[in-house]
Amino acid sequence: MRIHSVDKIKELRKLRRKGHSINELVSLCVIPKTTVWYHIHNIKLLPKYEKTLKAKIGGNTQRKQKRLEVARKNAAQLLRGSDRDLSIAIAMLYWGEGNKKVANLLTQMAV
């Protein structure tokens, strides 16, 4: 029994040959990521689309850098704020015990 139609799979493969990334294919075809990978992992791109796909690679690195910069700004702001000591204590608990207990601690502190 097929979950996705043969036409949909053909369209998926055609789009991949034209340089679409896996995430783009997931969005366009509304198919789970693992299913998309299963059907396209061995497809050779048309030469004129190889550069297009390679240009899309590295987006995760760029997002990571932006998030890291935001985290640094937020950390600096916390350390300059009036709750500096509390922030340091929570960070030490998190590093020592992990996030499993910090969520409970924050919940108890909010009450």
| pLDDT tens digits for range 51-61 | 888 877 766 77
The domain tally of the chain equals: 2
Per residue in 70-110, pLDDT (tens digit) is 999 998 998 898 989 998 888 888 887 765 655 566 666 65
pTM above 0.85?
Answer: no
Q: Which long-range contacts (CB under 8 A, 24 or more apart) does 72-81 make?
A: none
Q: Is residue 1 part of a domain?
A: no
Q: Is residue 91 part of a domain?
A: yes
Asked whether the beta carbons of 19 and 53 are under 8 A apart, the reply is yes
Q: Is residue 81 located within the same domain as residue 95?
A: yes
Q: Is residue 74 located within the same domain as residue 46?
A: no
Residues spanned by the domain of 64: 60-110
| C-alpha triplet 86, 89, 95: angle, nearest 5° | 140
Per residue in 11-49, pLDDT (tens digit) is 999 999 988 989 899 999 999 999 999 999 999 888 888
Asked whether the beta carbons of 12 and 32 are under 8 A apart, the reply is no
| pLDDT: which is higher, 25 or 2 | 25
